[in-house]
Structure 1
Amino acid sequence: MSDLVFVPRPDGELPVRRWLPAPGTGPGVLVLQEIFGVSPYIEQRCADLAAAGYVVYAPELYFRLGLPTFDEEAPDYVQQGIAGSQRLDWEQTTADASAALDALRAAPEVTGKVAVLGFCFGGGLGFQVAAVNTPDALVSYYGSAIPGLLDLASQVRCPSLHHWGLGDSFFPPEVVEQVRTALTSERVTFHTYPGAEHAFDNPHPMFFHAEASALAWTRTLAFLAERLRAS
């Protein structure tokens, strides 16, 4: 179960979904959404992280747009999400996510380090947040903005874990290799998954790759446990 907390912004209050682990306290993970918002899939991943011992914040980054909903059954589902994300101001959304990270770090329930974990849109946003803020770790699933943000690579000083599918319809293997080559720091761990589509962790039949999803999640939990020292 989740509840809501609010992070003040210059033009209103950013609603943030919060999940607590069974003990009530622990390290923190800021989860940044796909283009489809804090969907049932994102909610499930947040619940999974809470079950693993983390305090989880998931900001509703579409809050200025009235929290639009996206119809998973519609043939234009992806186009709905793309259109929604294009209505967001990138720098403003980065500032919102960074403010949510600050709030997570300051939350009384957080007793350890904090990480950013983003999926697709959120994976790229998390990369930029890590460049302008100071999380203790970053996990990026097929961060869609990263190919255009590689000039920020030297500013991401925390350990980072990146997951990319090699069957990605949006980012072909040569683009994935370009990202891998640019992220050469010893702080970077980079994994690719043959045959996996973009958004392969999303259980929607259009995207899901069960083997890649399971392996990437196992690696994600191990990485977070190591970097955040969760019990």
Structure 2
Amino acid sequence: MQDLLGLDGLARPPLAATPLVRRGVVMTSLMVGFTLAVPVAEAQVIHTDGAGLNAGEVRIPATGGSLPGYAAAPAAPGRYPVVLVIEEIFGVHEHIKDLCRRLAKAGYLAVAPELYARLGDLSTMTDVPTIIRDVISKAPDAQLLADLDSAAAWATGTGLSGSLGDPARLAVTGFCRGGRNTWLYAAHNPALKVAVAWYGPVGGTPSPIQPRTAADAAAELKAPLLGLYGAADTGIPVPEVEAAVARARAAGKTVELRVYPDTPHGFNADYRPSYRKAAAEDAWARMLAWFRGHGAG
């Protein structure tokens, strides 16, 4: 299933070009359970428990108020490497929360801010076209990048009950739309150590508030980036991704691409029929190794 139809490849403007959204936050808390917009494959859903963790919903100070988010970290007090987890278009629902807990079990402070909280209540939306029209297409990339910066500041300055993030070990990962936004954040934040983009579109049609594609930003990456893609993803042509990788490498950037044969879009989404266990497990191990190998472990 494709998360963004024709809009998934839109990219961010320069920060000075688009004013940040000043209106109030619509979603004041996270949804419970899974998104209503896609069928859930109950038999394969992974549940990671919270044993040995600090984990739960948090409030992240940001422009115009505070955003709801989910965070998880080892319970023992200390400074941990930080992973910013960027959602799909469906919001920070149970799958994204579980990914945060998995990362915490691996020794990270993981935080997933609800990046679309100002634009609509994703917990009530039941179809993809509505989400795209009413939320995703109206989200300025400048705001998104600023909110990710706010989440990083929260993780390293407030954290969870003694579990604090180490600002010198900052990573980002994201899924589908979040994978696209991972490319953009890796071109935005010079303090970032490492990035991993899961099946993030690199092309698309620009708009005034999202004027650059991820491919446009590829030559500006400020951190090593690992791309995890499926060869059977009908919405993200592999040659398009390879061209973005080549552009980054030509600019002297460190980029690695792993393409899984006969694998569709959303192969890590264990709550959806697109899930592919072998590819997802291999990609997760590669992500953790990429983090450790580039200063965020």
Q: TM-score, normalised by structure 2?
A: 0.69
Q: 1:54 to 1:38 in 2, by over 3 A?
A: same
For the Cα contact (< 8 Å) 1:31–1:56, is it kept in 2? yes
Q: Secondary structure at the match of 2:69?
A: strand
* Selected match of 1:194 from 250, 255, 261: 261
Counterparts of 2:202 and 2:136 in 1: how far apart (Å)?
Answer: 12
| Map 1:68-217 → 2, pairs under 5 A | 68-69=122-123, 76=127, 78-83=128-133, 84-107=135-158, 109-111=164-166, 113-133=169-189, 134-145=191-202, 148-184=213-249, 185=252, 187-217=254-284
Counterparts of 1:64 and 1:186 in 2: how far apart (Å)?
Answer: 34
* Selected match of 2:109 from 44, 55, 58: 55
Counterparts of 1:186 and 1:95 in 2: how far apart (Å)?
Answer: 23
Deviation at 1:101, TM superposition (A): 2.2
Amino acid at match of 1:152: A
Counterparts of 2:68 and 2:272 in 1: how far apart (Å)?
Answer: 29
Amino acid at match of 1:104: A
Q: Any idea what the Cα deviations from partners look like across 1:177-222, whole Å, max 9, x if unmatched? A: 3233223245212111111111111113432122211110111111
Counterparts of 2:139 and 2:68 in 1: how far apart (Å)?
Answer: 16
User: Structure 1 residues 87-96 or 54-63, which shifts more?
Assistant: 87-96
**Larger RCO (CA under 8 A, 6+ residues apart):** 2
For the Cα contact (< 8 Å) 2:71–2:112, is it kept in 1? yes
Counterparts of 1:209 and 1:38 in 2: how far apart (Å)?
Answer: 21
Aligned residue in 2 for 1:46: 100
For the Cα contact (< 8 Å) 2:268–2:276, is it kept in 1? yes
Where structure 2 has 5 or more consecutive residues not aligned to the other structure, the ranges are 1-49, 205-212
Counterparts of 1:187 and 1:180 in 2: how far apart (Å)?
Answer: 9
C-alpha RMSD over aligned residues: 2.3
For the Cα contact (< 8 Å) 1:70–1:80, is it kept in 2? no
Q: 1:20 aligned to 2:84?
A: no
Q: Secondary structure at the match of 1:195?
A: coil
Where structure 1 has 5 or more consecutive residues not aligned to the other structure, the ranges are none
Counterparts of 1:35 and 1:24 in 2: how far apart (Å)?
Answer: 33
For the Cα contact (< 8 Å) 2:193–2:296, is it kept in 1? no
Counterparts of 1:186 and 1:145 in 2: how far apart (Å)?
Answer: 16
For the Cα contact (< 8 Å) 2:175–2:197, is it kept in 1? yes
Counterparts of 2:253 and 2:146 in 1: how far apart (Å)?
Answer: 27
Deviation at 1:66, TM superposition (A): 4.5
Q: Secondary structure at the match of 1:64?
A: coil
For the Cα contact (< 8 Å) 1:70–1:81, is it kept in 2? no
Say how many residue pairs are matched.
226
For the Cα contact (< 8 Å) 2:202–2:244, is it kept in 1? no
Counterparts of 2:140 and 2:96 in 1: how far apart (Å)?
Answer: 21
Q: 1:61 to 1:40 in 2, by over 3 A?
A: same
Moved over 6 A (4+): none
